[in-house]
């Protein structure tokens, strides 16, 4: 019988990384381009058959929009859709590129914008750019007060809509544990007001220095961090 390594199909190297338990499969597509299909993305992200990940990150050469960036990063959700941004994924990619280059500061092109990343000891930070509360930038289907968004029939109300490179809708509640975020988040994400759906956040202010917070991310999953 042949050795399994002699008959196994040739694959592609990847790195599995996590930022605050937000976990990713990262693939370098600069020398050998990688354009995953929806089925490939779902397979890789499914921990039952693949390595498992919340998102797949592909590192690519920069485009004409990435002047000054070290590399480009594309982010794919587990359902095959492409995400606008992810802070933890960007920090993971930045760490790899800083190890590769020896730089402590570099730019990464994401969604045709350049995000600045910085290393301070073991910590990696990323400037996500300016946040927006403008209804058409989130984007919402109609003009409304984005600090008080009322989504009907979901069990909670008075959400705050904000774009942090991707759309979020955050609900502040008095009792975090009394809310089933997965159920509420799934209903909220289907609301036609949210043109691109949204990451649904649940927050409870514990004291002056602590907030209990969790996110139900697009395309429909609870995540440890965002």
Q: Which domains does the chain have, with CATH numbers?
A: 4-126 (3.10.310.10), 130-226 (3.10.310.10)
pLDDT at 116: 98
Token look-up 């968004």 returns: 149
In tens, the pLDDT along 4-13 reads 455 555 678 9
Which residue of the set 45, 86, 92, 117 is catalytic? Answer: 86
Which residues, listed in sequence order, are joined to residue 201 by a DSSP beta bridge?
A: 170, 215
pLDDT at 11: 75
User: For residue 135, is pLDDT > 90?
Assistant: yes
Percent over 70 (pLDDT), the chain: 96
The mean of the pLDDT values for the chain is 94
Residue 203: count of CB within 10 angstroms of its CB? 16
Mean pLDDT in residue range 112-124: 96
202 closest CA partner among 25, 26, 187, 53: 187
* Enclosing H/E stretch for 25: strand 22-28
Residue among 45, 92, 117, 226 flagged as catalytic:
226
pLDDT band at 1; cut points 50, 70, 90: very low
Per-residue pLDDT, 90: 98
- Residue 9: per-residue pLDDT: 57
144 given a catalytic annotation: no
**Residue 160 in tokens:** 């705050």
> What mean pLDDT do residues 200-215 have?
97
Q: What is the mean pLDDT of residues 127-156?
A: 95
Q: With H, G, I as helix, E, B as strand and everything else as coil, classify residue 195.
A: strand
Ramachandran angles phi, psi of 93, nearest 5°: -65, -40
Question: Is residue 45 flagged as an active site residue?
Answer: no
Res. 210: pLDDT tops 70? yes
pLDDT digits (tens, 9 = 90+) for 154-205: 989 999 999 999 999 999 999 999 999 999 999 999 999 999 999 999 999 9
pLDDT, tens digit, for every residue of 67-90? 999 999 999 999 999 999 999 999
């Amino acid at each position: 019988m042949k050795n399994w390594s002699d008959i196994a199909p040739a694959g592609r190297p990847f790195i599995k990384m996590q930022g605050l338990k937000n976990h990713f499969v990262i693939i370098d597509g600069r020398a050998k381009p990688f354009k995953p299909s929806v089925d490939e993305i779902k397979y890789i992200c499914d921990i039952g058959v693949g390595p498992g990940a919340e998102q797949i990150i592909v590192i690519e050469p920069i485009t004409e929009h990435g002047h000054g960036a070290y590399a480009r990063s594309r982010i794919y959700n587990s359902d095959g859709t492409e995400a606008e941004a992810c802070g933890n994924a960007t920090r993971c990619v930045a760490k790899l590129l800083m190890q590769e280059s020896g730089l402590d500061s570099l730019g990464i092109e994401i969604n045709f914008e350049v995000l600045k990343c910085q290393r301070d000891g073991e910590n990696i930070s990323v400037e996500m750019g300016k946040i927006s509360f403008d209804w058409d930038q989130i984007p919402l289907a109609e003009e409304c007060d984005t600090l008080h968004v009322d989504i009907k029939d979901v069990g909670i109300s008075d959400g705050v809509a904000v774009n942090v490179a991707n759309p979020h809708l955050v609900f502040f509640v008095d009792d975090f544990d009394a809310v089933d975020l997965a159920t509420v988040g799934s209903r909220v994400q289907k609301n036609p007001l949210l043109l691109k759906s949204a990451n649904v956040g649940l927050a409870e202010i514990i004291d002056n220095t602590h907030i209990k917070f969790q996110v139900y991310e697009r395309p429909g999953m609870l995540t440890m961090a965002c």
